[in-house]
Structure 1
């Protein structure tokens, strides 16, 4: 199985969401989690490519094109990693986005969502449709955008900082659960 990992945003260009109280940003956290997910998946026998770029679908030619890279490889599954944020500090939890429900992407997202929520005890915000999200719209394989937790919520932010390895292991287990189910194992 070929898994394409896309940690969101791009350090030094677009840091994504920020928690100034904890002095952390989304781009760095998701890169660290993505590297760990890649390590777990390689150990499980998957082929992995990881690309963090400020060019999702050709809008910034100064950086590698994420969607084209995944499509041209071609990946079997695509995972984009993010940290959520909200102006309301009480917003918390994990959610996954897919292009549409009742699809292979939806099944993949359900596996990842379940593993994160059950392993880390984050609030279950569910699997949602996000057809306008570039990485879901412009990829040709089952694709999921994972919002690990809210960087803007102190309790979630602490999990993002202190439990990166657990997030990564949960995501990797979700992916391998999906692979096993698709293969009928």
Structure 2
């Protein structure tokens, strides 16, 4: 199984959401959890490619094109890692897909069950988001994992202090999907 990991945003260029109180950015958290997840997936026998880039689909030629890289590799599944942001009361984990009735929906459910079951985050469900380029411009089952709300103090502490547990949960969700699909 070839797993393409896309930690969201780009450290030093596009920080994504920020929690100024804790001094952390979405780009840095996604990078760190992405690296840990890649290690667990490699140990489980997956071939992993990780690209964190400001260029999702050709908008910044100075950096690797994320969707083109995933499509041309070609990946079997695409996982984009992010931290959600909203009002401070919002919390929990959710996984976004292009189509709710697809293999991506199955993949999303496997990942979300592992995160919420292992870390006890609020289960915000699997949601369809047609307009996200990493979901609508990739040719394999693709999901965008909103690991937690960087703007919520409880979730932010989890994103900082439990990165290894979160990475293991994401990797287990992906391997659950592989097992479920019989691949």
- Band the TM-score falls in, shorter-chain normalisation: over 0.9
**Matched residue, 1:129:** 128
- The alpha-carbon deviation at position 116 of structure 1 amounts to 0.1
**Structure 1 residue matching 2:4: 3-state secondary structure:** strand
Does 2:155 align with 1:178? no
How many residues are aligned here? 183
Q: Deviations over 1:160-184 (max 9, x none)?
A: 0000001100000000000000017
Q: Where in structure 1 do 4 or more consecutive aligned residues deviate above 2 Å?
A: none
**Matched residue, 1:48:** 48
Does 2:18 align with 1:18? yes
Q: Could you list the runs of 5+ residues in structure 1 that have no partner in the other structure?
A: none
- The alpha-carbon deviation at position 139 of structure 1 amounts to 0.1
**Matched residue, 1:169:** 168
Q: Distance in 1 between matches of 2:55 and 2:41?
A: 25
**Matched residue, 1:116:** 115
**Structure 2 residue matching 1:29: 3-state secondary structure:** helix
Q: Deviations over 1:23-51 (max 9, x none)?
A: 00000001000000000000000000000
Does 2:81 align with 1:81? yes
Q: Distance in 2 between matches of 1:56 and 1:152?
A: 24
**Matched residue, 1:148:** 147
- The alpha-carbon deviation at position 131 of structure 1 amounts to 1.0
**Matched residue, 2:93:** 94
Q: Please provide the CA RMSD for this pair.
A: 0.6
**Structure 2 residue matching 1:112: 3-state secondary structure:** helix
**Matched residue, 1:58:** 58
Q: Distance in 2 between matches of 1:163 and 1:23?
A: 16
Task: Tell me the TM-score normalised to structure 2 length.
Answer: 0.99
Q: Distance in 2 between matches of 1:48 and 1:89?
A: 34
Q: Could you list the runs of 5+ residues in structure 2 that have no partner in the other structure?
A: none
